[in-house]
Amino acid sequence: MKTTDATVLEEPKARRRATEETIEPAIESRPRPSTGVREAKIYIDGKFYSEANAKVSVFDHGLLYGDGIFEGIRFYNGRVFRLEQHLERLWNSARSICLDIPMTRQEMTEALLETIRQNHLRDGYIRLVVTRGVGNLGLNPEQCKNPSVIIIVATIALYHEDFYRKGLSIVTVATRRSNPASLNPAVKSLNYLNNVMARIEGNLASADEALMLNDAGNVAECTADNIFIIKHGQIFTPPITAGALQGITRSVVFDIAGEFDIKVIEADFTRHDIFVADECFLTGTAAEIVPVVKADGRLIGDGKPGPITMRIVARFRDMTHNTGTPIFD
């Protein structure tokens, strides 16, 4: 697949007229999305579109049913961080929901790198989406013959630097992490309503993030991050079977802890274990590694980011800025 040759920034005139007369006013009356990138180019199925023209069908089952998968990926200093791991997880999600990604991993890598190059960024965030594609209004995926691949590159600043220095607060919400026997949280699917509902509850409680328990009442994860606690020098995180995503940043923490000779134990734990932990932090591609200093109104440790957490954060920053798949030759 040649991504550069396929660059299409202008739609054909005939189609443009129809677009302006019919679809455009409805779209324009809503807030404009923004990647934060000047003259951003968005990849859809082998072609590049301007932000205003990057559109998918209302019959795409990604929209109608949340039927699809995605990855959030970061690039730092001209290199994509842990790209192979993200693609591995994407392909695993696809296999789990019987979705055929319409390109090879090598082609996906090329498309992704080319999209970043087209947007002239050295640091940023990539949203890689594969939808089931266009079907009819029935939910049967057999109607959808051509899955769509979308790659959006954006600038990112999720949390203000203060959060990394001072830590954030979390609250446990009533919405439980979806049971792996229904919608498995290990699949990074487009169906994020479970997380969105938890986030709404977190917002209503004025917390920085919402913590979700599983059906057994054990800690699963936050709405977009994995959770870790530290007690007596050991690091604990819920196992994937507790309803946690196999986070890429989570796995980086395992690597860093190995370097530091600190044990990471995957074990079920409860809110109580967070309350009495010495330290706590969250991990996610967008959030990176961020200390937690308050849970359900209780201060964790002395209410300040802990020393082991800060060592891990420092090593993580070093890794993100010095390793990864080069974007430019």
Q: How far is the CB of 247 from ligand PMP (least distance, A)?
A: 3
Selected from 285, 295, 305, 316, the binder of ligand PMP by CB under 6 A is 285
Q: How far is the CB of 102 from ligand PMP (least distance, A)?
A: 23
The residues, ordered by sequence, that sit 6+ positions from 145 with a Cβ below 8 Å of its Cβ are 133
Selected from 133, 167, 247, 324, the binder of ligand PMP by CB under 6 A is 247
The sign one gets for the Cα dihedral 87, 89, 93, 96 is positive
The sign one gets for the Cα dihedral 104, 110, 116, 118 is negative
Selected from 94, 230, 245, 292, the binder of ligand PMP by CB under 6 A is 245
CB 304 within 8 A of CB 280: no
- Of the pair 224, 292, the CB lying nearest ligand PMP is at 224
Say how many Å lie between the first and final Cα of the chain, rounded.
19
Selected from 221, 277, 309, 315, the binder of ligand PMP by CB under 6 A is 221
Task: Please report, as residue ranges, which positions from 248 to 267 form the binding site for ligand PMP (by CB under 6 A).
Answer: 248-250
Catalytic pick among 55, 188, 231, 263:
188
Using the CB atoms, write b or e for 50-59: b if 16+ within 10 Å: eeebbebeee
When asked if residue 225 is in the footprint of ligand PMP (CB under 6 A), the reply is yes
Task: Please report, as residue ranges, which positions from 164 to 203 form the binding site for ligand PMP (by CB under 6 A).
Answer: 195
Region near ligand PMP per CB under 6 A, out of 25-33, 240-248, 261-269, 319-327 = 240-248
- Of the pair 79, 250, the CB lying nearest ligand PMP is at 250
Selected from 135, 147, 243, 284, the binder of ligand PMP by CB under 6 A is 284
Region near ligand PMP per CB under 6 A, out of 39-47, 120-128, 219-227, 303-311 = 219-227
Give phi and psi for 316, each to the nearest 5: -60, -45
Region near ligand PMP per CB under 6 A, out of 6-14, 196-204, 217-225, 311-319 = 217-225
**Cα angle 232-288-280, degrees, rounded to a multiple of 5:** 25
- Of the pair 41, 250, the CB lying nearest ligand PMP is at 250
- Of the pair 144, 289, the CB lying nearest ligand PMP is at 289
For 263-309, list the strands marked E by DSSP.
264-266, 279-284, 288-295, 298-299
When asked if residue 315 is in the footprint of ligand PMP (CB under 6 A), the reply is no
When asked if residue 209 is in the footprint of ligand PMP (CB under 6 A), the reply is no
Alpha helices in the chain, H assignment, sequence order: 13-18, 24-28, 61-65, 83-96, 105-118, 161-166, 193-204, 248-259, 271-275, 307-322
How far apart (Å, rounded) are the C-alpha atoms in residues 47 and 255? Answer: 37
Let me know if 188 is a catalytic residue: yes
Q: How far is the CB of 87 from ligand PMP (least distance, A)?
A: 12
Task: Please report, as residue ranges, which positions from 59 to 98 form the binding site for ligand PMP (by CB under 6 A).
Answer: 72
How far apart (Å, rounded) are the C-alpha atoms in residues 220 and 37? Answer: 34
How far apart (Å, rounded) are the C-alpha atoms in residues 118 and 267? Answer: 43
Number of amino acids touching ligand PMP (CB under 6 A)? 15
- Match 């050991």 to its residue by tokens: 234
Sheet of strand 148-154: strand arrangement: 47-50, 41-44, 148-154, 124-131, 68-76, 79-80, 325-326
- Of the pair 144, 213, the CB lying nearest ligand PMP is at 213
The site for ligand PMP (CB under 6 A) is made up of 72, 195, 221, 224-226, 245, 247-250, 283-286
Positions annotated as catalytic residues are: 188
